[in-house]
Amino acid sequence: MSTSDSSHAPEQQRPVGNERPGHGLHDWEERYAGEQLWSGKPNVALVAEVSDLTPGRALDIGCGEGGDAVWLARRGWRVTAIDVATNALARARAAGDAAGVDVDWVASGLVELADRDACFDLVTLFYPALMRTAGGEVEKALLDAVAPGGTLLVVHHANVDREVALSHGFDPDDYVGHDEVVAALGGGWVIERDEQRERDVTEGAGAHHHADLVVRARRLPHTSGSR
């Protein structure tokens, strides 16, 4: 359910963990039953951070309408794209077919992903709604999905107004944020980028967001993903 003003649901908050009222599976299915939400373009931060990487296996978490996954596949990545909303995946699959690319579209959340032993050379997560858990299961699943030597790219919205979010039924404190992702990266990781970055996006449901928090980290060879 994610992508930027691309076809991912990056500019929305996507559900990839447990649910909160108003942000459950039914809500996302309804949202994707209406008009197209995203521009179909890849997220700007994805293009900036991934263009210099050698293509391999990629996991796009919360793929939404598929903009990021299609962009990656066009550049030679073997992409698995997951989302809990089947309506989103139907749109993403149509976008992939129109682009003539082969993507493995999977209806799943991150923790529920069947192939939990799979390790990817690139794992991307844009503007996520990952529910916090007492045991940190979501952060563990995120880090463990990255193969030794692979890259993790996580992008959150910067400067989120909590009161505005609450007025829309969304409490940022319920979700894994930028700081939690950075804190989860232990000694087996090299943080290559951790910064706030302005963005100029004029299309899609997330055009009102003007800054990103970008974390790009590389898992060291022969290490475990999570601590």
What is the tens place of the pLDDT at every residue in 205-215? 444 555 899 99
Q: Considering only the top CATH level, what class is 14-219?
A: alpha beta
Q: What is the Cα–Cα distance from 88 to 9, expressed in whole angstroms?
A: 9
The residue-averaged pLDDT of 142-164 equals: 88
What is the tens place of the pLDDT at every residue in 85-134? 899 999 999 999 999 999 999 999 998 886 666 799 999 999 887 888 88
Q: What does the domain layout of the chain look like in residue ranges?
A: 14-219
Tokens of 101: 């690319």
The residue-averaged pLDDT of 17-36 equals: 62
Is residue 14's pLDDT more than 60? no
Classify strands 57-61 and 103-107 as parallel, antiparallel or unpaired.
unpaired
Q: Tell me, what's the pLDDT at 82?
A: 96
Q: What pTM value is reported for the model? A: 0.82
| Average of per-residue pLDDT values in the chain | 82
The residue-averaged pLDDT of 135-149 equals: 94
Task: Please tell me the least confidently modeled range out of 21-30, 175-184, 186-195.
Answer: 21-30
Confidence of residue 46 (pLDDT cuts 50, 70, 90): very high
Q: Tell me, what's the pLDDT at 4?
A: 44
Q: Is the dihedral of CA 205, 91, 109, 226 positive or negative?
A: negative
- Hey, what long-range contacts does 89-98 have (CB within 8 A, 24 or more apart)? 89/63, 91/7, 91/32, 91/36, 91/64, 91/65, 91/66, 92/7, 92/63, 92/64, 92/65, 92/66, 93/66, 95/7, 95/40, 95/65, 95/66, 95/67, 95/70, 96/66, 96/69, 96/70
* Dihedral (Cα; 93, 96, 100, 106), 10-degree rounding: -60
